[in-house]
Amino acid sequence: MHIVAISGSPRPGSVSSQILNVAGNLLGSTQHFTIYEALLELPHFSPDLDTEPADLAVMALRILLREADGVIICTPEYAFSMPSVLKNALEWIVSSGEMNEMPVLSISTSPLPPGGEYAHTELRMVLKALGARSANENMLCIGATRKKISPSGGILDAAITEKIREEVIALTKLMHNTNSEHDTIATH
C-alpha cells in the first residue's frame, strides 16, 4: 500500500511536516510512504490553464496521487483558514479526479489551543467536494503545538502520538476496505 502525505506548509521543518514524519514512522515498513514536497512548484490555479497536457508540476502531483492508495494531509491554520498553497494544490485535482473515493486522513495544527479547527473544517469541505473518503470522522486538531512538539520534531505529549496512531490505523483499514471493494467490483 502506498500513502502520500501532503503538508499544508511548504516551510522545511514545519510542525505539519513533523506530524507527517511521525505518522510515517507509525506506519512501519509495511506501507510505502511518500511526502509530497513540491507545493511551491505548482502554478497558481486557473481553469483556463487546466488543460492537457497539464503543467509538469501539476502532472507530477496527479501521477503521485493516482499511484496512491491513501493520503494524509496535515495543515496549519493561517488567519482561520488553510494556507493558500494547499488550497491551490487541491484545486489542481478537482477536474482530474485523483481524490475521488481516495481514503484520506486530515490533520490540522496550530500554536493556539483549538488546534486549527477552522482550517480543518475548510479542508474537510474541500475534500468532500473532491469526493475523498474521510478516515477520521472526528477532526484531529493538534493545538498548543509549541508545548507539545519539540523543535526537533519529537512529540512531547504521549496522548497526541496515540491519537495519531489511532487515526493512521483507521486510514489503513479504510484503504484495505476500499481495495477490497474495488477488487469485488472488478470481478463482477
Instruction: Report yes or no: 135 and 167 within 8 Å, Cβ to Cβ.
Output: yes
Q: Is residue 135 packed enough to be buried (19+ CB in 10 Å), middle (13-18) or exposed (0-12)?
A: buried
DSSP 131-185: TPEES-SS-EEE--HHHHB-TTS-B--HHHHHHHHHHHHHHHHHHHHHHHHHHHH
Q: How many CB atoms lie within 10 A of CB 180?
A: 10
Q: Give, in degrees to the nearest 5, the angle at Cα 134 between 52 and 98.
A: 10
CATH 3.40.50.360 fits 2-187, yes or no: yes
* pLDDT of res. 17: 94
- Reading the block at residue 43, the C-alpha cell is 502554478
pTM recorded for the entire structure = 0.93
| pLDDT by 10s per residue, the chain, length 188 | 999 999 999 998 899 999 999 999 998 777 899 999 999 999 999 999 999 999 999 999 999 999 999 999 999 999 999 999 999 999 999 999 999 999 999 999 999 998 999 999 999 999 999 999 998 888 899 999 989 999 888 899 999 999 999 999 999 999 999 877 755 444 44
